[in-house]
Structure 1
Amino acid sequence: MIHSKRPLASIESSPMPEPSCRSVAIIGLGLLGGSVAFAIRRRWPSVRLTACARSPETREFALDRSIVDEVFETPAAAAEGCDLAVIATPVNRIASLAQALAGQFPELTLTDVGSTKGGLVRELAGTASAKQFVPAHPIAGSEKSGAEHARADLFDDKPIVITPSGEELPQHITAATEFWRATGGRIVTMPAEQHDATLALTSHLPHLLSSLAARQITREMLALVGNGWLDTTRVAAGDADLWTAIVSENRDAILSAIEQSRSDLDTLQTIVHQGDDAALRTWLDTAKQIRQSAQT
């Protein structure tokens, strides 16, 4: 365990109401975990922050940047004495960590940042941890990974989706909701399966299509790419291990989204093959209107 060298002074914001939790553990200090810490520092400066990070370099960096007050090598050490813990690891590790932490700390409120929810809810169903664990997904991020890219404003006015299983005790729902609101996000509640089907179309398939577009280009062509290609393929620069885990966890919904896209691509192919410019204009205009209606 290492102690922070100095208090954080670089992030300022208007104060929030006094938090009900006094100490928060963050299990995993990547982009999202680090950003959670910075956001809570900004809104709840009195809350003690601990973290677990596997890499010695990450632990040193977290303290040099005053992301947390203390950092540990194990999740249990980080969560000791805390009121709430955020699991900010790849999605395929969340369930086992939730069960382990719930077994050691039966009063601890648990939540996460994972972008898939159905499998997680099913895996924890009927276990003691389901009473403590409040599944959450902050819809914010970047193609960049690592605590060095963490930002205090990452969640500002972004949706924070909570997908209750129905087994959670009320006090844990209240604590997790208050916590996520303090990061600056907007709370949205929906069933886990609805979340996964929606994210397959709004996030997971777009990432795969971005990667598909990137794969079409040879190195010799890179000298000729413009901003359109760079914008379209930006998320293809994301962490491959992270996205492999996401696809594995949300496989069925993503396959359904792929089939939906295949049908639309077939329609586009027919339009282009037939030289139907009027239909193409309508097809493109529909996409344009949807994109312009999106929140930025």
Structure 2
Amino acid sequence: MQMAIASGKGGVGKSTITASLLYLLKDRYKLIAVDADAEAPNLGLLLGVEEWEEVREHVGAKVAKINPESCIRCGICYERCPYDSIHIDEDGNYFVNELTCEGCNVCGLVCPVKGTITLEPARSGVIRRATTKYGFPIISAQLDVGRPESGKLVTEEKEWAKKLMEELNLEHMIVDSAAGIGCQVIASLGGADAAILIAEPTPASLSDVQRAYKVVQHFREPAYLIINKADINPGFRALREWAEEEGIPILGEVPYDRAIPKSMAMLKPVVEAFPDSPASRALKEIAERVAEIIG
């Protein structure tokens, strides 16, 4: 089974809850974790990963290159670049800023000297594998600064995870999605058997989780909801009412708990660092309900 954990909003506790669920379910199932936030991966930190056993480069993007020997310095590419990625150095030579170039090839099309501007492959980031200190593997990715293709990185992560599941006879994949509803999240939710949505009882979180739910609906996946920091806004009922209207089962509510930031500073899941804290008790109940979904 492949289960994706998403929210539509950053900072609501996706990675914290994912790490705790992995910890609580690791002895019951053969799991693999996927950190699908290629722009800001942090799940490995909470699972005790200190070094990566295998790192693969992902080369998929393209950037423009200007050959200074054949360039006639007409400036047409400089004028037409839609991303202002072409600059002039102190010697009057034109060059491309690879951090902002999107590889659209407008410059190559307008250049009057054929072959002067070409598109060259560029590294988008890395995909890496490690074994957590709890014994199960994790796949993560790191997008290079200014590079596109975060969604492709996540897709490659999941493909690698599927191969490891076959090789190591693993049973289930738990994917920690990125914030928002962009390419990374779409790649995270695509192919999943179920989606667990994380939200806080605030108008902003409700708005964002509703957008994430639309992506889940596009893939026709069953959705479940966990309300994190459930007691920070007692009078806000709209999140629970929305879940009831949409028929989304609420797996549980996690109270605000100072043990969580303390456990993050310790680089441990809260259910390991503070097993008797209010949040840990709530997460243990949620883990039992997640086990029922898997079952």
Q: Same fold (TM over 0.5)?
A: no
Structure with more of its chain in strand, by fraction:
2
Higher relative contact order (CA 8 A, sep 6+): 2
Larger C-alpha radius of gyration, 1 or 2? 2
Structure with more of its chain in helix, by fraction:
1
Normalised by the size of structure 1, how large is the TM-score? Answer: 0.36
